[in-house]
Amino acid sequence: MLRGNSPPPRRITWGKILITLVVVVAVGAAVLIVSVAVSHDRFKEERLKEVPALYRDDFKLMDP
């Protein structure tokens, strides 16, 4: 059987595995941060809807 100019068999190196893990962790962390920020904004909106209008300005002043 003739091999010709076939490339050598591919090997997975530890560097590729490490880069893949870092990318997966970074994407997961970004998704987690965005989901927490969105839920926090929704919680703030719900809290402001439940508070009577007289106290809303005080809550807005307290929140950064």
Whether the Cβ atoms of residue 47 and residue 59 lie closer than 8 Å to each other = yes
Single pTM value for the model: 0.53
Do 41 and 63 meet the contact criterion of CB atoms below 8 Å apart?
no
What is the tens place of the pLDDT at every residue in 7-59?
Answer: 777 787 989 999 999 999 999 999 999 999 888 888 777 776 766 655 555 55
Model confidence at 61: pLDDT above 60: no
**Contact status, residue 25 vs residue 14, Cβ threshold 8 Å:** no
